Amino acid sequence: MQGNTLCRALRLALAFQALSLGACSSLGSDSFLTDNLVRKDQVQSVLERQPAQEICENSVPTGPIETTLCDYETVESVTDQLYADLHELVSKPFFKYFQADLYRECPFWPDDGQCNQASCSITSLDESDVPEKFRAKVLSQVSSVNEVHKLPGCYYRDTDFCYLDDDTEGEYYDLSQIPERYTGYSGEDARRIWRAIYEENCFGVSELNLMKSKNPAPVTLPDTMTDPFKDENGSIDESEQCLEKKVYYKIISGLHASISTHICYESLNKETGEWGPDLQCYVNRIASHPERLQYIYFNTVLMLRAVARLGPYLEAYDYCAFSNAEDDEDTLTKLNGVISTAQTVGRFDETVLFRGENANILKEEFKSHFRNVTRIMDCTGCDKCRLWGKVQTMGVATAMKILFELDETALNPNANAGLLTRQEVVALINTLHRFAESLYATNVFRELWQRTDEDESEKLISEAERAAKPRASPAVGSRFAPGGLWAHIFRICRESTMDCAGYIAGVWRDAVRTMQSVFAPGAKKQGPGFSTEL
């Protein structure tokens, strides 16, 4: 009781200090907790933050995560336990076996960027190693997929945000034996993958214009996700209603930032031959761009909300693998712990998205483009990267289907037992584990930063500045549809003359910067502003 009282007093004191200084002084404009672009002391704002270990009752949160109803402290207070539960859960038979077709042709360009390094290769399982009840042939007998749209080797249903591999194709993999880490897969092929993914940003939103919108108050949480767009009189500025745009971009960027974190967290030291965290890598890719860490928090909350909604369905699922009662009980115990955390922390109001007269058109555009993102994974030249790319894009797509397509009736396990395929459930939990590990890894990097002296830290920052790539926005419009860019420009110009002029000016500016970077010494090796290596 005494500790709780002290904690409340400390948090209230911090809140009072923030209010008295007008903008959350110590966690203000230079902190990654703000939703403005951090332009000063970026690395310090990320790595010198001390994450909350517990949330005190009646405390005032200092860091609302924009477009959610959650705050950073709440997520930080559950990170260790959430990661521990998920880390054990994904090692269980049900969640570690995943079937994927890694040899489907790339539908967008010649498949000419294969990684020949040993670190890119993975070994599949013999089907006999997989519990019989989890095999595709058995599952297809108890569940049928109706009303599907088929493509060679894959299909999707109208409710899906991703393409699913045909159950008759592909091989089985043990995800617990294939860690997602540095493989050496880089260069133009890796850059091409991420360029294509960002080009599937159907709204043309960039990191810069995403951050220009109004922010919620620095020390209060919004009551609804629309609160950040209200003016002083409580009315909503129509020009700021871009929730769907924000959500889409944050999902893509959060996934990219999380993958980058995993690569830095399990990196190969070429001098010692040992695997471990690479602080310089993290400073370069994440800490020097704090908004990217924001997007990892955002995606974690979104995934937790999906798990919370799916809770009754997950609790009713059959996870039994070998008729081992003790193992099955342990699986359910860890799963219930994750669901409980999700119900507490997963505060994301999906009901405010895709509303209005054009909601269905907007949602179909959203779906179509994210489906293409999942197909882009078939173009990845590294087998290990392709496998984890498929798992995580399917996991995020499953979360979006749960949030934006399914009502409470559909989520009822008694009325709709075949709602999700086993693959989708496995992908959902493994993807949440990936985001939780990214936050856990961030705390490890913070500890490493604390051990560096002033000279070392300055060297890390200087190297990050030297390695920084131009912050040009990813190209907009789809390269896969003829005239995609021009169609996008036409749509903007038809809706607003001012936006039209600004957009064209931005395209011209980016083109000039690109030309300058091409002819700059050594710049041909550089890619888009957000590191594009997997």
Just list the catalytic residues.
382, 385
What's the angle, vertex CA 230, arms to CA 62 and CA 8, rounded to 5? 20
- Alpha helix positions (H), 310-421: 311-316, 325-345, 359-376, 383-404
What b-and-e string marks burial along 436-459, b requiring 16 or more CB atoms within 10 Å of the CB? bbbbbbbbebbebbeeeeeeebee
Helix (H) or strand (E) holding 98: strand 97-100
Q: Is residue 184 within 8 Å of residue 393, measured between CB atoms?
A: no
Q: Is residue 101 within 8 Å of residue 367, measured between CB atoms?
A: no
For residues 445 and 277, what is the distance between their CA atoms, to the nearest angstrom?
A: 7
Q: CA distances (Å), 340 to each of 28, 81, 336, 463, 480, in order? A: 32, 11, 6, 42, 42
Q: Is residue 399 within 8 Å of residue 303, measured between CB atoms?
A: yes
- Alpha helix positions (H), 25-174: 42-47, 72-89, 93-96, 136-142
For residues 460 and 458, what is the distance between their CA atoms, to the nearest angstrom?
A: 5
472 secondary structure, DSSP code = P
For residues 383 and 146, what is the distance between their CA atoms, to the nearest angstrom?
A: 30
Instruction: List, as one string, the DSSP characters of 1-39.
Output: -HHHHHHHHHHHHHHHHHHHHSS-GGGSTTSTTSSSPP-
What's the full length of the chain, in residues? 534
- Alpha helix positions (H), 184-239: 187-199, 207-210
232 secondary structure, DSSP code = T
Q: Is residue 345 within 8 Å of residue 301, measured between CB atoms?
A: yes
For residues 32 and 43, what is the distance between their CA atoms, to the nearest angstrom?
A: 9
What six digits make up the tokens of 393? 């894009």
Given phi > 0 = left and psi -120 to 50 = alpha, else beta, which region is 455? alpha
For residues 174 and 172, what is the distance between their CA atoms, to the nearest angstrom?
A: 7
Q: Which residue has the tokens 């999380």?
A: 258
Q: Is residue 478 within 8 Å of residue 371, measured between CB atoms?
A: no
Rounded to 5 degrees, what are φ and ψ at 274? -105, 150
Q: Which amino acid does the sequence have at 153?
A: G
Q: Is residue 45 within 8 Å of residue 30, measured between CB atoms?
A: yes
